[in-house]
Structure 1
Amino acid sequence: MLPKSARFHLVGAIPLRSTPRSRFPAVPGATGAGCRGPARRIPARRDMAHATRTTAKAAKSRNPPGGPFPGIAHASGKGLWLTPRSAPKTVGQELSRHPRSSTRMSVTQQVLAEELAESAEAPSFLRTVDRRDVHRWAVSEVFLTGVARTPEGGYTAFAQLPPVHHYFTDQVLPQDTPDSILIMECCRQAATFIAHRGLSVPRDSAFHVTDWSLELTGRSRPAGTGRPGELTMLVTVVPSQVRGGVVRAARFVLELLVDGRPAGRCDVSARYSPAAEAEIVRRYHRRTAPPWSSALPPAPAGVPVPAGDVGRRDRANVVLADVRRLFRGVAARIAPPLDHGTHFDHPQDHYPAMILLEAARQAAVLARSPGARVTGYRSRFLRFAELDAPVRVAAAPRDDREVAVRFRQGGTLVSEIVVAAEEPAR
């Protein structure tokens, strides 16, 4: 028998604003305060089912589809809630008013009740979000596990860092910080989710990253722990362009914590365009429709860089080819496999920012050494990097800490990224 305070956690696992007692309809045969009908005990299963139906109706009336923050939990001092109203209560708290509404649970039900009660208090790292809201086809490529609206108007986002991944953890040397590209991907997913669910940017909109920076600080966790890391992102959103009541551009500032310890800061700005408008602009600049990655040969042309030279073990994760050593730095060409499970999780009509960031990381490592420790980026994305024309990469050290990387296509500057890459301590 569970204590009274935990008897109804099974139906009260999702915190909701309490429904006034007068709103409960009469239940034939129910007993207890606020219930009408003959004093006859009904089975607990019917009692719990009735409470679930009643609570669902109350939740729908308070947070209807298309509400102010659809699909986003709301945070207060007591946990995460489904509606923005204050002083919410759980269903269990509401039902605890009925002193005679008790039930006997099996061991399995007790375990389930405890898990659901835990999810009500800390739902941050239990399950991933809808993959469509982070622009992924494969659920295995989704790391974002939740987003909560804070009372101050910002957001708290949560992501689980996988201990093993075919790409993000493919590193020659053990790292005492999470992979910088993995952190960038988690920040991208958080900003994309908030754009859709918090700023109401339609899912079929084209996203254009314009500026993106990351700074990782300190040693956030020991290498080789064998367990997932927990990334918490404290997000401040500033809509920088609103047209006709629709957000067309925004900036996201994310303070990062890994396993509860400060880990750095990310700053990303993006523009949002309706799909039809984005297609017109692309055709205007190209004069032709851009090809999709799925329609091109998957194998990259040219001579790929040895995986170990760019700090990778798997050559499938190499995105550079035809490398030339220069007096100061290196020159290469972007050449990722177009069937890569992460880079091209779904068909693309250009090289996305995440590929350019990985190419910059690999070029910086080439300019330094395979053991170089990459801790940050400062990026500007000026034009689309097209799939059907060579994209040239040039990397040169600026000082002992930074490497400047530039991308050109057809002689035009496409992007420039400064990579913080330091030689390993000897």
Structure 2
Amino acid sequence: MRQSIEGSLVHKSSPNQVLLLSADASQDGTLRLIVGLSPQHPSAGSLPSASTLVGVELMRQCAIAFAHLSGGVPRGWAFIMNQLSFAWLEGAMPTASEQFAGHVDVRLRAVKMRRDQVSDLQLEADFMAGGVILGSGCGDLSCLPPRAYQAIRRNAPTEAIASTGPLGAVLADIRRSDGELEAQLVWNRGDTFIFDHPSDHVSGMLLASALLQSHHLLAGSQAGDFSMQCHNFGEFNAPVTVSAVAHGAGRTVVTMTQSGRIIASGQCGKPVGAPDAGPAVERFHRVLTPAG
């Protein structure tokens, strides 16, 4: 049975930022999500330069929707994105908001249970339109009840979040030399895409934006293939250093550190020539029980 999707399901406050319109579960466990990009979305006017960032956000929303609708994770629980990836197929990147239409098929690849409740999920997804795959991605997320999340974040800074850069900027103090880049992560509270809802930590989408921008500065081209791991919570009260290195085949490897700890790492590259048909287990950095 098809059901509509509202912002609270995918942890968005603004209806214009919800990329999922409805959901329909099939008997084989696949969750089909109908996709649309509102012309009022903060990134709609920045396509195609923002297409990969919107694709990553699409994967984030799909993972959370699957957890709630197919994984039985209660509303009000928190999610930690351990890994998130997305890649456009060559020539498929949307250049206008109306091209960001179709559906995403989300499949469970591995799961971890705790006390008869889902605690971790690994998912794969294909974004399709007209029977053709436009892009593919995967996500690894942990699902936490409110008390568990509050315990983890009990020592989180409580001061108000102050803007550290102008609107539209995510990197400052940029230094480039011989295929390497180092910069400071910055943010602006007026960025409605990043600060759509309250958060006690640096959001994964802000880190994703910095990763993509680092690639653009080093490679001189827009990334169509994105992958990121989140290792530790990033805080708003200390500097975050972004270090990027250009590798072969037009790829960029990025590490983000704060107070001596790696908070995120990842890489970007060109759009891929074909969907990744390799074993699902090789796409994830954590080992969970494969789905039956």
Structure 2 length-normalised TM = 0.85
- Say which of 244, 268, 276 aligns to 2:115: 244
Tell me if structure 1 keeps the 8 A contact 2:21–2:36: yes
Tell me if structure 1 keeps the 8 A contact 2:17–2:42: no
Tell me if structure 2 keeps the 8 A contact 1:162–1:228: no
1:66-77 aligned at under 5 Å gives the runs 73=1
**What is the CA distance between 1:377 and its match in structure 2?**
1.3
Which structure would you say has the larger RCO, counting Cα contacts within 8 Å and 6 or more residues apart?
2
**What is the CA distance between 1:421 and its match in structure 2?**
4.3
CA distance in 2, matches of 1:271, 1:379: 15
- Say which of 272, 286, 296 aligns to 2:161: 296
Q: Give the letter for the 1:296 counterpart.
A: I
CA distance in 2, matches of 1:359, 1:222: 21
What's the C-alpha RMSD, in Å, of the aligned pairs?
2.2
Name the structure 2 match of 1:92: none
Q: Give the letter for the 2:32 counterpart.
A: T
Name the structure 2 match of 1:138: 14
The 1:223/1:179 distance shift into structure 2, 3 A limit, reads closer
- Structure 1: any 5+ residue segments left out of the alignment? 1-72, 74-79, 83-127, 305-315
2:283 paired with 1:399: no
**What is the CA distance between 1:290 and its match in structure 2?**
2.6
2:106 paired with 1:235: yes
Tell me if structure 2 keeps the 8 A contact 1:144–1:157: yes
User: Relative to total residues, which structure has the larger strand share, 1 or 2?
Assistant: 2
CA distance in 2, matches of 1:184, 1:221: 13
CA distance in 1, matches of 2:100, 2:176: 37
Structure 1 length-normalised TM = 0.59
CA distance in 2, matches of 1:139, 1:163: 12
Tell me if structure 2 keeps the 8 A contact 1:215–1:375: yes
1:201-350 aligned at under 5 Å gives the runs 201-220=73-92, 223=95, 227-283=98-154, 288-291=155-158, 295-297=160-162, 299-301=163-165, 316-350=167-201
- Say which of 223, 230, 238 aligns to 1:389: 238
Deviation per residue, 1:316-336 (Å, 9 max, x gap): 222111111223221111101
Name the structure 1 match of 2:67: 195
**What is the CA distance between 1:384 and its match in structure 2?**
0.6
Deviation per residue, 1:372-417 (Å, 9 max, x gap): 1311112211111111111100111011321001001112111111
Deviation per residue, 1:40-59 (Å, 9 max, x gap): xxxxxxxxxxxxxxxxxxxx
1:89-168 aligned at under 5 Å gives the runs 129-163=5-39, 165-168=41-44
The 1:278/1:144 distance shift into structure 2, 3 A limit, reads same
Tell me if structure 2 keeps the 8 A contact 1:249–1:271: yes
**What is the CA distance between 1:164 and its match in structure 2?**
6.1
The count of residues paired between Structure 1 and Structure 2 equals 271
- Say which of 352, 370, 374 aligns to 2:203: 352
Secondary structure at the counterpart of residue 400 of structure 1:
helix
Tell me if structure 1 keeps the 8 A contact 2:51–2:93: no
> Larger Rg: 1 or 2?
1
Tell me if structure 2 keeps the 8 A contact 1:291–1:387: no
**What is the CA distance between 1:221 and its match in structure 2?**
6.4
